[in-house]
Amino acid sequence: LVAVTVDDAGVITSCIIDAVQAKISFDAAGAITTDLTAPVQTKNELGEGYGMKAWGGAKYEWNEQAASFAAYVTGKTVDEVAGIAVSEGKPADADLAASVTISIGDFQSLIAKAFE
């Protein structure tokens, strides 16, 4: 999910990015064992609970990286966002790469779709 606001010149004035990664478990017979009535938290809601730092050794959690990317694209046009240099899917710009170590292609695509 991405939400952006833009000014009359097409410059992003605000941006927020979030996602859901729901987990569903099955038993040996193929029946769902997950409580489907339980609320599913977004990655922003999970924050530290998402576990990138704890389990993956990341410097920043997903929500922190998404917020850093959102801040980075604020003040840019959709074409400038599409033109952000990547290396193996990750930001090539040293300033952005300092706080965003995850692949950004989906973020760029979501922002492009928001402008359609």
**DSSP per position, 36-57:** TTS----HHHHGGGG-HHHHH-
Q: Of all residues in the chain, what percent carry a pLDDT higher than 90?
A: 91
Segment 7-11 shows an average pLDDT of 96
Q: What letter does residue 81 receive in the DSSP assignment?
A: H
Phi, psi (rounded to 5 degrees) for 3: -130, 130
As a whole number of angstroms, the distance between CA 29 and CA 94 comes to 49
Report whether pLDDT(30) > 90.
yes
Report whether pLDDT(111) > 90.
yes
Q: What is the pLDDT of residue 80?
A: 97
Report whether pLDDT(109) > 90.
yes
Segment 28-32 shows an average pLDDT of 95
Query: pLDDT tens-digit profile of 51-101?
Result: 999 988 889 999 999 999 999 999 999 999 999 999 999 999 999 999 999
